[in-house]
Amino acid sequence: VKVAEADADYARTMLNYATITAPFDGYVTERPIDPGSFVQSAASNSAAMPVLTITQTDVVRVFLEVPMSDVQWLDRGDKAVLDRLTALPGETFSGTITRFSASLKRESRLLRAEVDLPNPDGRLRPGYYGYVTVNLDEQPQTPVVPSSALLSSADGLSVFVVEGDVVRRRAVTVNYRDGSIVGIATGLNGGEFIIRS
């Protein structure tokens, strides 16, 4: 009797594998296996494929690449707007930066970030393409100089400042560099004439 009960338990367990229950509410977006098809175990089949692909669309995750010069201003919670979608012209969707990578991609020097957009009516569909505008924290209001005006030496960073008929070298500290311009943290008040190169 105990052997028969064990066989029955085994049969029930194996039968339960015939019922697939989704781990979340969503839609079947891909079904490469037809009902009635024989499906081999993935453990013994190197060419195994998923039985179903399920997509949850009440919140849509958008991936974007942030340039290296703007990474320092990126924070979780920054507001983001998705617009200019070919499929939905004129519509905009608002969300926030929810997460981003700890490092930049080696090949492109871009940082991958994610925006979660509420999508209760299902207007956004996975695979749509558009443009994302992220409202970054404003850069500090500091004087800026062309990067060609910044001199580096053993004494530190400096710029040449025109004072009347005299040119003087003035030590500065930098708080950011953005390609062709450099933000000056200390050393300049913003009203000076600078020798560019």
pLDDT averaged over consecutive 10-residue blocks of the chain (197 residues)? Answer: 95 87 86 83 77 88 88 87 91 92 88 92 88 76 85 90 92 80 85 88
Residue 9: the pLDDT is: 95
User: How far apart are alpha carbons 158 and 197 in whole angstroms?
Assistant: 12
Residue 111: the pLDDT is: 92
User: How far apart are alpha carbons 161 and 116 in whole angstroms?
Assistant: 48
Instruction: Provide the percentage of residues in the chain whose pLDDT is more than 90.
Output: 32
User: pTM of the predicted model, to two decimals?
Assistant: 0.54
